[in-house]
Amino acid sequence: MTPLLSTQTLSLQIGATQVCRELDLEIAPGQCWGILGPNGAGKTTLLHTLAGLHPGDAGRILYGDRRLPDIHPRELAKLRGVLFQNEPQSLPGTLFESVLAGRHPHLGRLGWETPLDLKLARQAIQATGLQGLEERSVHTLSGGERQRMEIAMLLAQAPGLGMLDEPSNHLDPDQQILMLRLLKDRFTQYRRALIMVLHDINLAMRFCDHLLLLKGNGQQLMGPAGEIATDENIQWLYQHPVSLLKTEGTACFYFL
């Protein structure tokens, strides 16, 4: 089966930080990847590079069997969508307008939304539990509501690959679980996939089936979550003692 996204010997450096070196990543439909690493390791930059928003230094990025530079930006916006962290809006409009903006890659030449686009935006708002706030101006929303709005935008965009940068930011613990469950639900069916940068190793353990650990010095580890998430590896990654607690069916890292 062709992977949705793959990289061939991708190297990426920002300043003195070697984010990854000769990375050969393959994301197949149905998979959910987590990217973990200490602060400043370049997780966000790698995510943006994979999304085609930031140039890599060497190597290739392929969507299906096509190289990233050969794909028209509008078409790329149907192949992958990005959930940003801290992307400020200026002169923001209403919540509904923002979510509807997610439909942009699907609109015709005139950029006019069809009833279907309006319906999909409304469904995305309902799925994220924001109904009733449609007409609110974006900057009157709380941090958590705003994050759910961003998720609704991504759901309305409905790309093949969801690329999430800290999806649990600003969310209450219950909402973290609900939103990640929603995203995983939507993005691991119908030949779609999900890749997310996470701070919380335990959220990654709970939702991701594959992990990519970035040390920030060019060292990287990747593979199925069960093989990668050992206490030695996590201790190596964060330079902090951890112990793995196991109860029935779940495992959880406890930072000592």
Residues that bind another protein (CB under 8 A): 48, 51, 53, 72-78, 80-82, 84, 87-94, 96-98, 100-102, 104-105, 107, 110-113, 115, 118-119, 122, 137, 139-140, 157
Tokens 């530079």 sit at which residue?
Answer: 69
Q: In whole angstroms, what is the distance from residue 247 CA to residue 245 CA?
A: 7
Instruction: Name 247's bridge partners.
Output: 250
Closer CB to another protein, 79 or 225, in the complex: 79
CB of 176 to another protein, least distance (A): 22
The DSSP code sequence of 40-71 is: TSSHHHHHHHHTTSS--SEEEEEETTEEGGGS
Closer CB to another protein, 89 or 250, in the complex: 89
Q: Are strands 193-197 and 161-165 parallel, antiparallel or unpaired?
A: parallel
Closer CB to another protein, 140 or 250, in the complex: 140
CB of 84 to another protein, least distance (A): 6
CB of 95 to another protein, least distance (A): 11
What would the two tokens of residue 22 be?
A: 């000769």
DSSP structure class, residue 112: P
* DSSP-based three-state secondary structure for 220: strand
Angle at Cα 225 formed by Cα 223 and Cα 230, nearest 5°? 100
* Contact between 85 and 171 (Cβ < 8 Å): no
Question: Pick from 256, 214, 196: which is nearest to 47 by CA?
Answer: 196
Closer CB to another protein, 82 or 204, in the complex: 82
CB of 79 to another protein, least distance (A): 10
Closer CB to another protein, 40 or 93, in the complex: 93
CB of 107 to another protein, least distance (A): 7
Closer CB to another protein, 37 or 81, in the complex: 81
CB of 230 to another protein, least distance (A): 34
What would the two tokens of residue 26 be?
A: 């393959």
Question: Pick from 40, 34, 1, 41: which is nearest to 19 by CA?
Answer: 41
Q: Tell me which amino acid residue 124 is.
A: A
